[in-house]
Structure 1
Amino acid sequence: MIKAIALDDEILALKIIENYAGKIENLSLEKVFNIQSDAQKYLNKFPVDLIFLDIEMPSKNGLDFYKNISQNTKVIFTTAYSEYAVDAFNINAVDYLLKPFSFERFKSAVEKVKINTENDEVKHLSIRADYKLHKINFNDILLIEGLDDYIQIHLKDNSKITARSSMKNIMEKLSEKDFVRVHRSYIVPVNNIKTIVNRNIHIGDFIIPIGETYKEEVMRIVNK
């Protein structure tokens, strides 16, 4: 199921999106917003897979709004202006719908999201950091560390990507068979658990404690 929201300053445009979304299987339009601050508050609390987003709005431009979304959310722009198309695709928009758009055109855009989501779930983690969308191969991840409101993804080439996200949200985007949370501050790839000494996992130069809450699940995976 694709969880989505829509943001547009025009109420009629939101009603059209609501109508179209209601006809598509496996698409749940959770909320619609005509005020950017309300949409931002929602996104700060709830993960969504997709946002239908207008570009020219009274306060912040939709392109800038999307660049500042901290969670990994795909976007389909819905606008009456064609001149923003290049900028939209430069920030990895799934599609760009010019108003007025038909149901078939809307449905086609959502199908692209479904295909991309399936592919990402199998092989990649997509996350927004430093105003870019990073697509990270699961095999390149050494471990993921939680730092208050941020997470730090440690890669096998010794580089790091820091993004605003909770550990819960990032765990929802990972494959359960490939990753396990071992501590409130650590998520590790299952294949990287080679050595456990005194309830500590050794991965490269890292010594990661196994939290009491996660001990049973970790041992179940290790003893498979």
Structure 2
Amino acid sequence: MIRAIALDDEILALRIIENYAEKIENLTLEKVFNKQSDAQKHLNKFPVDLIFLDIEMPAKNGLDFYKNISQNTKVIFTTAYSEYAVDAFSVNAVDYLLKPFSFERFKTAVEKVKSNIENNDAKHLSIRADYKLHKINFNDIQLIEGLDDYIQIHLKDSTKITARSSMKSILEKLSEKDFVRVHRSFIVPVNDIKTIVNKNIHIGDFIIPIGETYKEDVMRILNK
């Protein structure tokens, strides 16, 4: 199921997207917004797979709005202006719908999202940070640390990537067989757990405590 929201300052445009979305299986349009601030508040709390996004808006240009989304959300731009197409695809937009667009054209764009998700390499994590989309190989991740409203991805080359995300949200993007949450503040690669001493996991130079809440999950995965 693709979870989506729509953001457009024109109410009629939002109604058309709502109407089209209702006709497509495995697509849930969870919310629509005509103010960027309201959409941003929603995105800060709830992960979504897709955003239908207008470009010309009163507050911030839709392209700039998308660049500031920290979670890995796919975008279909919906606009009356063709001159933004190159810029839209430079930020990895799945599609670019010129208003007024038909239901068939809308459906084709959503099918691209479905195909993109299904064909996405399961051994990579894509996440937005520092105004860029990072594609990180699972094998390069040493551990993921939770820092309040942010997460810090520690890579095996000693670099770090900090992004706005919850631990729950980032865990949903990872393979269950490859990663396990061992503490409210730590997610680690299963295959890199070599030593457990006094309820602590040793990974590289890190000593990570196993939280009581997560102890059963850790032992279950290790005993598979």
TM > 0.5 fold call: yes
**Residue in 1 that maps onto 2:218:** 218
SS in structure 1 at match of 2:145: strand
Check if 1:85 corresponds to 2:73: no
Give the root-mean-square deviation of aligned CA atoms.
Answer: 1.2
Deviation at 1:117, TM superposition (A): 1.6
Q: Is the contact made by 1:121 and 1:173 (CA closer than 8 Å) also made in structure 2?
A: no
**Residue in 1 that maps onto 2:183:** 183
**Residue in 2 that maps onto 1:131:** 131
Q: Percent sequence identity over matched residues?
A: 89
Check if 1:152 corresponds to 2:152: yes
Deviation at 1:90, TM superposition (A): 1.1
TM-score, normalised with respect to structure 1: 0.96
Q: Which runs of 5+ in 1 are unaligned?
A: none
**Residue in 1 that maps onto 2:110:** 110
Alignment of 1:93-108 (within 5 A): 93-108=93-108
Deviation at 1:199, TM superposition (A): 1.0
TM-score, normalised with respect to structure 2: 0.96
Q: Once the two structures are superposed, what CA deviation does each residue of 1:78-111 show, in whole Å capped at 9, x if it has no partner?
A: 0011111111111111111111112121111111
**Within 2, Cα distance between the matches of 1:42 and 1:188?**
28
**Within 1, Cα distance between the matches of 2:142 and 2:194?**
12
Say how many residue pairs are matched.
224
**Residue in 2 that maps onto 1:73:** 73
Q: Once the two structures are superposed, what CA deviation does each residue of 1:104-131 show, in whole Å capped at 9, x if it has no partner?
A: 2111111121122223362221110000
**Residue in 2 that maps onto 1:161:** 161
**Within 2, Cα distance between the matches of 1:51 and 1:74?**
6
SS in structure 2 at match of 1:213: helix
**Within 1, Cα distance between the matches of 2:120 and 2:212?**
31
**Residue in 1 that maps onto 2:119:** 119
**Within 2, Cα distance between the matches of 1:121 and 1:27?**
21
**Within 1, Cα distance between the matches of 2:221 and 2:174?**
16
Structure 1 window deviating more from structure 2 (134-143 vs 75-84): it is 134-143
Amino acid at match of 1:36: Q
**Within 2, Cα distance between the matches of 1:114 and 1:136?**
21
Q: Is the contact made by 1:121 and 1:175 (CA closer than 8 Å) also made in structure 2?
A: no
Amino acid at match of 2:81: Y
Q: Which runs of 5+ in 2 are unaligned?
A: none
4+ runs deviating over 2 angstroms: 118-121
**Within 2, Cα distance between the matches of 1:49 and 1:137?**
20
Deviation at 1:150, TM superposition (A): 0.9
Q: Is the contact made by 1:121 and 1:174 (CA closer than 8 Å) also made in structure 2?
A: no
**Within 1, Cα distance between the matches of 2:59 and 2:104?**
31
